[in-house]
Structure 1
């Protein structure tokens, strides 16, 4: 039996997909929607099956009929290179009826659990092989097991709130007894205090005007989680080439002047030594990068799932949301970015990791007294602010005296788990990094109200009861 056969049942995965399309073709849209609502593409091991499920979900989201032709219109080519229409037609033909869909779905779910159990063992074994501290190995394994508890059989779409209580109490008990997974730090002490560390299953938007330092901040956070804390990170760099990001990482980790690195012949021995130290750190780090321009959310999701499956994943970065390609030319840019934003939010929950989503700001702050940005200044779509669990705005005014000296404010303008406020950091542009400066500050009630002096609809955008 092949390795792939051991990790999933092809007949079950194809049976679920065929049942969805058959029910739609037979006019039973309620059944099709019921099946889709109980599955996620993460349940499917085969990448073609996961991609086809995404295409089916997309069709339903657009109120399109679900059949081999329409799913082929949404996504023409599958990860294997086969055409979606041909593969969908084959599956539909091979599934005789929808009668056994629930059995198929349960098998798919159970094999998803089996794969995660295998991953727990692999993660534990690798921790031992790498001579990691026992506490760290146990904490990582516990987190993986906690993810397993989140999985449930098809059909269990709701539960009593009281059923969640044991999970909450277990988490609190783990915290009291120092068994909780290590907190993910941004690498900046004052920023950690401001946002309360990085949380799992969250979408953190980092906004700023061009040149403000948002990419520099996000890359520094990625380095903190991967290089310093030993996590695994994935960067989608849709704007900056992988070589440039690598040079910035070397400069940041080694304290090397970027301008000096451009003229390698002039570097002194001590600078080469620091470059060697930085390169050594990067080689040891589990950080992956994709700089393919114009990636769509389907491609980003597929790559992220593959990295998580093969290496584990602690954090992800997308630079930036406005450059993610739309899956359909029929959407306006505002609608397209809104759908991309929501998809990134859903992906953070699916993967169980924080995702750093970089976003541009419009020009409104330049005409505002103090030039300080607000979450409502995020460009392209207000959906970004609504989906975000936290909105960090990087504010650097080079025309001010503080700005001339490199002082930069990181403003938390929206936080589900922390009050709004800001911290000041010192910009070391020559080293492509920030360092702590003078602490963090919560905004006063008066300052909060001043920031809310925007049109009525804007005041409530992004707020949830």
Structure 2
């Protein structure tokens, strides 16, 4: 104490006075006690005597016992608490210090800020220890980001949201939507019928887009990403574990230039008109706020860290992950790969809610779908499904019947340039299920609303 500055001593005195005054108010007011016990815990107090008294007051309050100094002192004596605070004199002084309830909000604010400060210091000390013990730096950074955010969110999470406040918020939102004339309440997919069913991809939603290989799920996901970025003007993050960024951009240029993707990929056979369209598509893509991470073998902990940083620096409207089964936790799961995928699914759902962004995660389907006569996917076809069905807010399956016809050896017809595709919403937690018809343009590797083949955005 002798080494503390005058400023530090004054701060400690202010905190101690706030703690003492809160306890005195609790002891004299049932209404105040209800408020305090819904906000503070024993760990919010720094003086050991005050911790003990708070616990005794709380126990008496929960037992619905009237609080006065006689009843409280007898209770504390019986439970071996009174000797811990130095006897009846300390308790008497506390009761006599009461003056008014008027300053309770100010006292609570002082205590809460002090608790936040102490917890933040503890987190920083823990980070320093992990660095000194040479823990993997990417794990330290991700853990640190989450713990620092949790320090602030923990207090908010302890509070109930009242129907009075929440109903007003919803009514205000409905009124804003009515006045704006906007049908979407979330990030646009860019596809007319899908947006009608979902009202856009909603904040905090975890969305699964699944299909068999070569069905076009990456192409559709890229369409979602570009259309959403163009229409919302918000940032869109793409985590591509399977394909490098250069190939993704190449596919986007092919899709939005309407130039044959083979020509874009090889650079052969391009005409002047093709180059004009490629240049326009390139200029268009430069105007969108697309952020691509193509780290191979990406761990969920790395994805979390990168996305948190991106969300701090930008207003992110949509996140696309290609794809779920290529992510890893970085931890060995002795039981099964299914357990690891289930863990990843839960972590991504939690991340979507934490950052309040919709996350679209691509997923593989098991081979069992190929063995059925009706090859339309169902939820049990999700590979390593585990918790995916439970965690996802929306589960969409991409299905092209013509894909199977083209791969049928008995079919001698010339493959079509365009095919009807179905986007099957098998699960929609907050809306209808059903199918959306799309048009797949094979040579561009792009999708469009059915009947609007030439629609790009």
Q: Secondary structure at 1:330's aligned position in 2?
A: coil
User: How far is the alpha carbon of 1:155 from its aligned partner?
Assistant: 6.2
Q: Secondary structure at 2:174's aligned position in 1?
A: helix
Q: Name the structure 1 match of 2:236.
A: 233
1:377 matched to 2:381? The reply is yes
2:434 to 415, 421, 429: 421
Q: Name the structure 1 match of 2:259.
A: 256
Q: Name the structure 1 match of 2:165.
A: 163
Question: Structure 2 vs 1, CA of residues 301 and 81 (structure 1 numbering), >3 Å: closer, same or farther?
Answer: closer
Q: Secondary structure at 2:397's aligned position in 1?
A: strand
Question: Structure 2 vs 1, CA of residues 195 and 105 (structure 1 numbering), >3 Å: closer, same or farther?
Answer: closer
Q: Secondary structure at 1:300's aligned position in 2?
A: helix
2:221 to 218, 221, 230: 218
Tell me how far apart the structure 2 counterparts of residues 82 and 422 of structure 1 sit (CA, whole Å). 42
1:399 matched to 2:401? The reply is no
User: How far is the alpha carbon of 1:256 from its aligned partner?
Assistant: 1.4
Q: Name the structure 1 match of 2:179.
A: 177
Q: Is the 8 A contact 1:183 1:198 kept in 2?
A: yes
Q: Is the 8 A contact 1:242 1:289 kept in 2?
A: yes
TM-score relative to the length of structure 2: 0.63
TM-score relative to the length of structure 1: 0.62
Q: Is the 8 A contact 1:195 1:412 kept in 2?
A: no
User: How far is the alpha carbon of 1:260 from its aligned partner?
Assistant: 1.1
Tell me how far apart the structure 2 counterparts of residues 243 and 326 of structure 1 sit (CA, whole Å). 26
1:437 matched to 2:439? The reply is no
User: How far is the alpha carbon of 1:286 from its aligned partner?
Assistant: 0.6
- Deviation readout 1:121-179 (Å, 9 max, x if unpaired): xxxxxxxxxxxxxxxxxxxxxxxxxxxxxx78456343333432222122122222229
Q: Is the 8 A contact 1:187 1:221 kept in 2?
A: yes
User: 1:344-383 maps to which residues of 2 (within 5 A)?
Assistant: 344-383=348-387
Q: Is the 8 A contact 2:139 2:302 kept in 1?
A: no
Runs of 4+ in structure 1 displaced over 6 angstroms?
80-84, 179-182
User: How far is the alpha carbon of 1:212 from its aligned partner?
Assistant: 0.7
Tell me how far apart the structure 2 counterparts of residues 82 and 219 of structure 1 sit (CA, whole Å). 29
User: How far is the alpha carbon of 1:78 from its aligned partner?
Assistant: 2.5
Please say which structure displays the higher CA radius of gyration. 2
Question: Gapped runs of 5+ residues in structure 2?
Answer: 1-42, 44-111, 407-412, 453-457
Q: Name the structure 2 match of 1:300.
A: 303
1:390 to 389, 394, 399: 394
User: How many equivalent residue pairs?
Assistant: 322
2:424 to 396, 411, 414: 411
Question: Structure 2 vs 1, CA of residues 82 and 382 (structure 1 numbering), >3 Å: closer, same or farther?
Answer: closer
Tell me how far apart the structure 1 counterparts of residues 429 and 142 of structure 2 sit (CA, whole Å). 42
Question: Structure 2 vs 1, CA of residues 244 and 49 (structure 1 numbering), >3 Å: closer, same or farther?
Answer: farther
Aligned-residue CA RMSD (Å): 3.7
User: How far is the alpha carbon of 1:236 from its aligned partner?
Assistant: 0.4
Question: Structure 2 vs 1, CA of residues 394 and 49 (structure 1 numbering), >3 Å: closer, same or farther?
Answer: farther
Tell me how far apart the structure 2 counterparts of residues 230 and 157 of structure 1 sit (CA, whole Å). 34
Question: Structure 2 vs 1, CA of residues 49 and 215 (structure 1 numbering), >3 Å: closer, same or farther?
Answer: farther
